Amino acid sequence: MKPGMTLLHLVCLGILSTTAVSAEVKLSSIYSDHMILQRNLPVVVRGSADSDEMVSVTFRGETRKVTPDKFGRWETAMSPGTAGGPFIMEVKGKNSIRVSDILVGDVWVASGQSNMEFFTSGVINAEAELKTANLPKIRLLRILPVTSPYPLDDLSAIPWVVCSPVAAAHFSAVAFFFGREVQSDQKVPIGLIDSTWGGTPVEAWTSVRALAEDASLMPAFAYWAHVMDDESKLIPEKAYENLQSDLAIQRGLPKPELPDHPDMLARSTPGGLYNAMIAPLTHFPIRGVIWYQGESNGSVEQAPHYARLFQTLIQDWRRNWAEGDFPFLYVQLANLKTNLGDGWPEVREAQRESLVLKNTGMVVTIDIGDPEAVHFADKQDVGHRLALVARAIAYHEPIEYSGPLFRMQSRDDQALRIWFDHSEGLMAKGVILKGFQIAGKDGKFLPADAQIDGQCVIVSNREILEPAIVRYAWKDNPGGNLYNGAGLPASPFQSRKY
């Protein structure tokens, strides 16, 4: 401290410094050179300035003027436009900001936990894949992992970058492969926003408002209170990461690169990740969401609540983005030896049940995971299958995008006939159809004989004279081999609860 300078002097200097900084017009962190804006929707621009300062925004020949509110926050909306670019945006107040190399196309938010977060540098044939990553029509934005007890106005993020081998290497592999295929198919610029954090439960990504509005979701808060007293109740994601690293070394593969995230308790707080990593995004128009999460809700205590929690998250995000029922596409849990009992089958069933919501689509991955590693390296197939769903649901292409999905069952003498959607060309990969179990009204399941009959499967067991329930691939690491003619695997299911 300089001679004669008191604490009061320092405080006053701090206030003056803050005032000087706040006098400058600023854009929210999501706006930077190389960004992608959503086509055919209003271009929403947000930032801060002095409360008495007139701010003008010019984009594609249109200028809008806005005055900040008493907190210095401002927002304006420009007219929608078709895909194209590059464009320049100019923002003027007491200072000027110029944002260049802006493209207009489709923006997709990729969110969830570590399998969505998993970097492209860790996938199968990573070196060869990254050589193809010079893709100037794809732009990447990575949101940094942060929590907050209340919704934030702005993000902590690495600014938009043009997709390159270096940028893609440290970006979500699933999002990269998804975006690469969608861009190749649609021929429009694609923006990918990576908002992910490993080891996080679904309730952390949902607003507290949405959780609190539904009394049936109170177990999420009760579970949280329980783990605050005993952190060992949280699923040990770090143990999964260590297992994957050990297996990679044994197989002569490079050690998978995953971000190091301390403080598992903080990242599991209900609403905490929504507040910091989603809420500041909801003013920014998007085409849709791709989601990969569920591992951290796979315990037997949490899994029964996942269907309600997950559907609440989807509806919550749609309400807060205020764009209607935008496509929400997600990945079902892959095969893995978890030692968690029925936890993972229950989460998979909850994910299948969530297809009841409009404009949702699910990717089945029980045939491409690694039984010994939660972070399996085949993210190419995950991205490809998500792209198929997007092409069908978001872009309305007449293609098959899903494996067989359970529709209903009916009695067929002492057997059950199982009907499926997406069942054209129903087939077993292998000599014998595997993975089916059958039970009577007592709920005691036995292995079933299963035969394909057209677009149905007939299941039976000689010991069960009055079959009532059927299951398929109902294990954490199932061995089901039912596919359709498009080569897409059937989803695990249970015909009814008992």
pLDDT digits (tens, 9 = 90+) for 352-407: 999 999 999 999 999 999 999 999 999 999 999 999 999 999 999 999 999 999 99
0.85 surpassed by pTM: yes
Using the 3D structure, point to which of 103, 124, 146 is the last residue of a domain.
103
Using the 3D structure, point to which of 338, 368, 393 is the last residue of a domain.
393
3-state SS, residue 46: strand
CA distance 4 to 82: 62
What does the pLDDT average to over 83-99?
Answer: 97
Please check whether residue 2 lies inside any domain of the structure: no
Using the 3D structure, point to which of 69, 103, 137 is the last residue of a domain.
103
* pLDDT score for 311: 98
- Residues 175 and 291 reside in one and the same domain: yes
Please check whether residue 1 lies inside any domain of the structure: no
Which two tokens mark 68?
């900040």
Whether 19 shows a pLDDT value over 50: the answer reads no
Looking at this protein, which amino acid is placed at residue 334? Answer: A
C-alpha closest to that of 48 among 28, 19, 18: 28
Over the stretch 110-161, which tens digit does the pLDDT of each residue have? 999 999 999 999 999 999 999 999 999 999 999 999 999 999 999 999 999 9
- Is residue 44 a contact partner of residue 50, using CB atoms and an 8 Å limit? no
C-alpha closest to that of 420 among 482, 365, 467, 466: 482
Whether 86 shows a pLDDT value over 90: the answer reads yes
Number of domains in the chain: 3
Return the CATH number at 79. Answer: 2.60.40.10
CA distance 197 to 113: 5
* pLDDT score for 15: 40
* pLDDT score for 227: 73
Over the stretch 438-492, which tens digit does the pLDDT of each residue have? 999 999 999 999 999 999 999 999 999 999 999 999 999 998 999 999 999 999 9
Please check whether residue 400 lies inside any domain of the structure: no
- Residues 479 and 380 reside in one and the same domain: no
- Is residue 118 a contact partner of residue 256, using CB atoms and an 8 Å limit? yes
* pLDDT score for 233: 52
- Residues 334 and 443 reside in one and the same domain: no
* pLDDT score for 401: 98
- Residues 379 and 416 reside in one and the same domain: no
Please check whether residue 398 lies inside any domain of the structure: no
- Residues 358 and 456 reside in one and the same domain: no
- Residues 384 and 485 reside in one and the same domain: no
C-alpha closest to that of 342 among 497, 113, 112, 115: 497
* pLDDT score for 21: 44
- Residues 48 and 191 reside in one and the same domain: no
Q: Could you give the dihedral angle defined by the CA atoms of residues 308, 314, 320 and 324, in that order, rounded to the nearest 10 degrees?
A: -120
Q: Which residue has the higher pLDDT, 431 or 285?
A: 285
- Residues 388 and 435 reside in one and the same domain: no
Please check whether residue 423 lies inside any domain of the structure: yes
- Residues 367 and 436 reside in one and the same domain: no
Query: How confident is the prediction for the chain on average, in pLDDT?
Result: 89
What does the pLDDT average to over 172-184?
Answer: 98
Residue-range definition of the domain harbouring residue 425: 405-494
CA distance 250 to 245: 9
Looking at this protein, which amino acid is placed at residue 367? Answer: D
- Residues 190 and 323 reside in one and the same domain: yes
Please check whether residue 399 lies inside any domain of the structure: no
Whether 210 shows a pLDDT value over 70: the answer reads yes
Please check whether residue 228 lies inside any domain of the structure: yes
CA distance 177 to 380: 6
Return the CATH number at 276. Answer: 3.40.50.1110
CA distance 327 to 380: 21
- Residues 383 and 437 reside in one and the same domain: no
Listed in order, strand segments (DSSP E) in 272-351 are 288-292, 328-331
* pLDDT score for 491: 98
- Residues 464 and 380 reside in one and the same domain: no
